[in-house]
């Protein structure tokens, strides 16, 4: 008999410690009819997914949501295994042999491509890379961004495009009091970029910005915000039948921006509309972008879509940031829906050609694609956990051979010798906070796996 008498435990492996995985773990632990035991796996030594590695450094309040995730992670029935990657250290067979259920919460880590000539020129950057770099994600620590030119074009009309534009336009003083990666602070402080054009293919009413992100553009210390009057005039009088309260307010804010006189600050962000990039030009590196002028036409379902006219517009630019969305990548041994670029699922149950795969579930962006704010993942995770509990009640979970907590931990450590436990993450957290306190910043992030492990594994 095992010393911890854990043999009969119902065990759930959650893969990914971003908002979706953290909320899913919280919902599982709150379930009272049966005590569930959660092992939370994360490929980085550090938890919290895009809250640490996506949310912009100048949005500290948004990051405070991690207090909720910390409470979950400190629960007696949860074990955190950082620096353990599904597909590299553990396979789906390993997990199916030891857990009653697996929940994938791996997000959608790569950028969507534009699919136009010149996309791979130097100085044409994926927003995913830039965001990871300024947020000290170890995968991007070695990336280099050339910000020596005066104009950058950001392609996309969502909050990530605005984050990129803002990060390029924040002054050194504004950046220096954030947790931006040190390597990014050094480069951004020396940036020559004076103008950022944020370009959407449809009009202001169709932009995916949220109101606060749009409004804060007017609060930048050294950059003013403008909206192209020419572009906005082309959309005036065309009411989107699907317009909601957020889009209506966006439309009003953008008309207010278009009416601003401008010209007082040294830098500017301009929002442009009805333009689709068709080619990025340059010998080796970006020199200009050609756009097709679009018009708005009604689709069969009544929504307004962009249709290219014959008009072309070429805008000189030194850098391009492609911010048209994130996409998922397949996990080894896990069915993938290529069309939607998410893990194949029906309402959170992973599916293959035979239907639902017993004991496998998905939450968050890996389930529904890259849309929605942090809070959206809470209800989304609850829905999937509800399906899991239905399957638990119906006897449809996996039935692995019983294993003790200690034996399972040994099994995981054999496969991932540098796994970081929650105490290891707390050591990293305290270290980063202390570095921050010493320099008047909220936190100074460590940027390489080696540095993170050195602190996590430090003798107490
Ligand atoms: C640039 C950007 C800025 C944003 N800003 C905001 C904001 O200000 N406010 C807001 O409300 N929302 C914001 N969002 C949206 C929010 O971040 C998402 O809704 C949320 O993070 C999605 O949660 P998730 O858990 O599905 O994915 P993620 O947050 O991506 O988490 C996935 C986790 O899984 C891990 N993982 C991946 N593969 C593996 C593997 N094979 N093995 C183990 N672990 C793995 C990853 O390392 C990561 O920790 C932003 C998104 C982006 C991209």
**Average pLDDT for residues 374-392, to the nearest whole number?**
98
CA distance 176 to 188: 10
The rounded mean pLDDT for the chain is 96
Residue among 285, 281, 275, 282 at smallest CA distance from 313? 275
Cα 149 to ligand 1 centre (Å): 31
* Most ligand 1 atoms within 8 A of CB, residue of 13, 14, 16 to mutate: 16
* Most ligand 1 atoms within 8 A of CB, residue of 24, 45, 55, 334 to mutate: 55
Cα 48 to ligand 1 centre (Å): 8
19 CA: nearest ligand 1 atom: 25
85 CA: nearest ligand 1 atom: 42
Helix (H, G, I), strand (E, B) or coil at 104: strand
* Most ligand 1 atoms within 8 A of CB, residue of 81, 374, 378, 425 to mutate: 374
Q: What is the pLDDT of residue 1?
A: 40
Residue among 247, 314, 309, 226 at smallest CA distance from 274? 309
Q: Which residues on adjacent β-strands are paired with residue 56?
A: none
**Average pLDDT for residues 154-173, to the nearest whole number?**
97
Residue 7: pLDDT band with limits 50, 70, 90: low
* Most ligand 1 atoms within 8 A of CB, residue of 17, 18, 66 to mutate: 18
CA distance 460 to 451: 17
**Average pLDDT for residues 154-181, to the nearest whole number?**
97
Asked if 354 and 393 touch (Cβ cutoff 8 Å), the reply is no
Q: Whose CA is nearest to atom 8 of ligand 1?
A: 55
User: Is it the case that residue 300 has pLDDT exceeding 90?
Assistant: no
Q: To 10 degrees, the CA torsion angle through 121, 161, 43, 86?
A: -80
Q: Whose CA is nearest to atom 15 of ligand 1?
A: 373
Q: Residue 293 has which token pair?
A: 């002028």
Residue among 385, 429, 300, 352 at smallest CA distance from 24? 385
Q: Whose CA is nearest to atom 51 of ligand 1?
A: 54
Q: What is the pLDDT of residue 261?
A: 86
Q: Whose CA is nearest to atom 20 of ligand 1?
A: 374
Which residues neighbour 322 within 8 Å (Cβ) at sequence distance 6 or greater?
A: 111, 112, 113, 114, 119, 124, 125, 126, 127, 155, 156
Name the strands in the sheet holding 10-15, side by side, starting at the edge strand that comes first in the sequence: 78-82, 36-42, 10-15, 101-104, 355-362, 349-352, 345-346
Percentage of the chain with pLDDT > 70?
98
326 CA: nearest ligand 1 atom: 53
Residues in contact with ligand 1 by the CB-under-6-Å rule are: 15-21, 41-44, 49-50, 54-55, 59, 62, 85-87, 105-107, 131, 160, 163, 326, 331, 364-366, 372-374, 377
Cα 106 to ligand 1 centre (Å): 8
Cα 7 to ligand 1 centre (Å): 33
Per DSSP, 116 falls in state -
Q: What is the pLDDT of residue 239?
A: 87
User: Is it the case that residue 399 has pLDDT exceeding 50?
Assistant: yes
109 CA: nearest ligand 1 atom: 30
Q: What is the pLDDT of residue 329?
A: 96
Q: What is the pLDDT of residue 5?
A: 47
User: Is it the case that residue 238 has pLDDT exceeding 80?
Assistant: yes
Q: CA angle 173-176-181, nearest 5°?
A: 145
The DSSP code sequence of 156-200 is --BHHHHHHHHHHH--HHHHHTS---HHHHHHHHT----EEEEE-
Q: 107-128 pLDDT, tens per residue?
A: 999 999 999 999 999 999 999 9
Which residues neighbour 181 within 8 Å (Cβ) at sequence distance 6 or greater?
A: 133, 134, 135, 136, 141, 445, 447
Domains of the chain: residue spans and CATH: 10-109+328-420 (3.40.50.720), 112-325 (3.50.50.60)
CA distance 424 to 435: 17
Residue among 3, 118, 9, 108 at smallest CA distance from 402? 9
Ramachandran region of residue 28, left (φ > 0), alpha (ψ -120 to 50) or beta? alpha
- For the entire predicted model, the pTM comes to 0.96
Cα 32 to ligand 1 centre (Å): 28
Cα 130 to ligand 1 centre (Å): 15
Residue 257: pLDDT band with limits 50, 70, 90: very high
Helix (H, G, I), strand (E, B) or coil at 103: strand
User: Is it the case that residue 2 has pLDDT exceeding 90?
Assistant: no
Cα 18 to ligand 1 centre (Å): 5
Q: How far apart are the first and last CA of the chain?
A: 33
Handedness of CA 81, 84, 87, 90 (dihedral sign): negative
Q: 239-250 pLDDT, tens per residue?
A: 888 899 999 999
Continuous segment of H or E residues that includes residue 323 = none
Cα 16 to ligand 1 centre (Å): 9
289-to-121, 135, 276 alpha-carbon distances in Å: 11, 27, 10
More confident residue, 458 or 187: 187
Q: Whose CA is nearest to atom 10 of ligand 1?
A: 373
Question: Number of H helices and number of E strands within the chain?
Answer: 17, 20
* Most ligand 1 atoms within 8 A of CB, residue of 24, 106, 163, 382 to mutate: 106
Please state, as a whole number, how many other Cβ atoms lie within 10 Å of the Cβ of residue 16.
27
């Amino acid at each position: 008999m095992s010393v911890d008498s854990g043999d009969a435990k119902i065990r759930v492996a959650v893969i990914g410690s971003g908002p979706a995985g953290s909320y899913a773990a919280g919902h599982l632990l709150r379930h009272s009819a049966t005590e569930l035991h959660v092992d939370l796996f994360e490929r980085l030594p550090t938890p919290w997914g895009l809250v640490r590695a996506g949310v912009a450094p100048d949005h500290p309040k948004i990051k405070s949501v991690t207090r909720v995730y910390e409470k979950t992670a400190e629960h007696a029935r949860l074990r955190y295994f950082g620096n353990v990657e599904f597909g590299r250290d553990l396979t789906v067979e390993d997990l199916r042999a030891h857990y009653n259920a697996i929940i994938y919460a791996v997000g959608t880590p790569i950028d969507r491509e534009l699919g136009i000539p010149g996309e791979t020129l130097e100085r044409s950057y994926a927003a995913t890379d830039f965001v990871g770099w300024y947020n000290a994600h170890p995968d991007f620590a070695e990336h280099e961004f050339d910000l020596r030119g005066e104009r950058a074009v950001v392609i996309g009309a969502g909050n990530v495009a605005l984050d990129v534009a803002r990060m390029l336009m924040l002054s050194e003083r504004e950046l220096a009091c954030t947790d931006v990666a040190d390597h990014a602070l050094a480069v951004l402080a020396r940036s020559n970029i004076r103008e950022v054009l944020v370009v959407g293919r449809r009009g202001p009413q169709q932009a995916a910005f949220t109101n606060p992100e749009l409004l804060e553009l007017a609060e930048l210390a050294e950059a003013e915000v403008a909206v192209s009057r020419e572009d906005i005039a082309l959309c005036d009088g065309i009411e989107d039948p699907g317009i909601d309260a957020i889009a209506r307010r966006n439309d009003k804010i953008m008309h207010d921006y278009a009416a601003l006189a401008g010209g007082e600050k040294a830098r500017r962000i301009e929002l442009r509309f009805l333009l689709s990039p068709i080619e990025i030009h340059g010998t080796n590196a970006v020199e200009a972008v050609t756009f097709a002028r679009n018009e708005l036409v009604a689709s069969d379902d009544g929504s307004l879509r962009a249709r290219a006219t014959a008009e072309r517009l070429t805008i000189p630019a030194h850098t391009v940031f492609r911010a048209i969305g994130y996409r998922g990548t397949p996990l080894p041994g896990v069915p993938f829906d290529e069309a939607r670029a998410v893990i194949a699922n029906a309402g959170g149950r992973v599916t293959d050609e035979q239907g639902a795969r017993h004991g496998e579930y998905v939450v968050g962006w890996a389930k529904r694609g890259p849309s929605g704010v942090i809070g959206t993942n809470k209800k989304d995770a609850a829905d999937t956990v509800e399906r899991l509990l239905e399957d638990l009640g119906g006897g449809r979970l996996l039935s692995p051979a019983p294993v003790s907590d200690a034996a399972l931990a040994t099994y995981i450590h054999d496969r991932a010798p540098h796994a970081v436990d929650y105490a290891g993450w707390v050591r990293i957290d305290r270290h980063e906070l202390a570095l921050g306190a010493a320099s008047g910043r909220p936190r100074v992030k460590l940027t390489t796996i080696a540095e993170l492990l050195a602190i996590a594994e430090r003798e107490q």
